[in-house]
Amino acid sequence: MARCGSRAITIRIKEIKQPMPNIRCVDCGSLYPSQGVPFRCQECGGIFDYDAPFQFSLDKLEPDLPGYWQYRHAFALPAGAPVVTLGEGNTPLLWEDFTGEKLGLKFESLNPTGSYKDRGSAVLASQLLARGVKQAVEDSSGNAGASFAAYAAHARLSGRVYVPESASGPKRQQIEAYGAELMRIPGPRSEAAKAVLTQVEQGVPYASHAYLPFGLAGIATIAYEIWQQMGRTVPAALIAPVGHGGLLLGIVRGFQALVKAGLSNAEPYYVGVQAAACDPVVRAFEHGLDAMQSAPELPTLAEGVRVRTPVRARALIEHISPGKGTFISIAEAEIQSSYQQLAQRGYYVEPTSALVWAAYRELHRNLPQPAVAVLSGNGLKYIPTS
């Protein structure tokens, strides 16, 4: 397994003696263990998640820390966990005129590796170091793999990343440049997820951005930043792409934390966006969770949401019921058109990000205003085929 970087790093880490009290199996309720990083419950095979909203307090902000680490108190990290940062967070919120309305654009594409995944990777890397992990594997459509490789390099961890053969060239180049070993797997995204399990079965820690819940605490900072950037108010609507669901779920958890802290009276109306070529969460929202099995996994320009079995679908559907939000699928022609329209306005993002522009174009007349859309990835990570 390749070594991500060669310099030694010395970090003093306190021993973790008690199970983390706020992460449990969603099926049997077992606490997450104090050692190791199992991606599924060792008792029943269920998925781990936080059992309560994150604790957010203005009195506990640490403005002297870099990037989004001012919110460290809300990350639910074990005692002594180190700060691992490449300067993630504090991304711009710009307002764009759209047929008489103002749409807020949250530029997650300007994070260190070019996607919102860095918010999850920084917290994940901190957890891995605190738990004594030296090497790990990950699977990804590209962005999460590049982000994991970057933070592994910074934390001096060894990494191997499994991606579908179709993953875009710039993302693959990023992964290798950071020093991680790249494994290209034939077939759709789901085949890369299967391939990584061969390593996990041999005992290699699985630093899964999808299964491990740690990164949700980092992604929640998008909500905190939007709240601060809007003058301590929340948008009436929030639009985000949905693959495994971690981006939207993390944002939901962030706004929940603001409500719990008494800093907001309500959450936004949520809009989750998928490609019509692979839309399991849309089907689950409309027809129940079992309907996900009928979703296709066809090629799509929006490769970041080509996930046929999304890990966080159940949590999203449980929270975003009709009246609280909706899910919408976008055809390929509309993805292409929206990608081009954003570029023509000066916003160069990848097609997965363009999903939110397409969704707003379709729904804006019926959406509460103002709305904010999350631009999840940078256009430099995508090479058009024509």
Average pLDDT over residues 86-90: 98
Q: What phi and psi values does residue 285 have, to the nearest 5 degrees?
A: -65, -40
- Report the CATH number that the domain containing residue 99 is assigned in CATH: 3.40.50.1100
CA R_g for the chain: 19
* Range name among 21-30, 84-93, 310-319, 377-386 with the lowest pLDDT average: 377-386
State residue 45's pLDDT score.
96
State residue 22's pLDDT score.
84
Would 320 be classed as within a structural domain? yes
Q: Is the pTM of this model over 0.85?
A: yes
Give the C-alpha separation, 144 to 139, whole Å: 8
Closest CA to 151 of 167, 131, 127: 127
Would 241 be classed as within a structural domain? yes
Would 97 be classed as within a structural domain? yes
Q: Which domain holds residue 236?
A: 93-115+216-381
- Tally of domains in the chain: 1
Would 264 be classed as within a structural domain? yes
Token pair listed for 26: 């969603």
State residue 97's pLDDT score.
92
Residues linked to residue 326 through DSSP beta bridges, in sequence order = 271
Would 82 be classed as within a structural domain? no
Would 196 be classed as within a structural domain? no
Q: How many CB atoms lie within 10 A of CB 99?
A: 9
Would 24 be classed as within a structural domain? no
Would 232 be classed as within a structural domain? yes
pLDDT in tens, 147-173: 999 999 999 999 999 998 888 888 899
Start-end of H helices in the chain: 117-130, 143-155, 169-177, 189-200, 214-219, 221-229, 246-260, 280-287, 313-319, 332-344, 351-363
pLDDT in tens, 92-145: 999 999 878 999 999 999 999 999 999 999 999 999 999 999 999 999 888 999
pLDDT in tens, 237-273: 999 999 999 999 999 999 999 999 999 999 999 999 9
Average pLDDT, the chain: 92
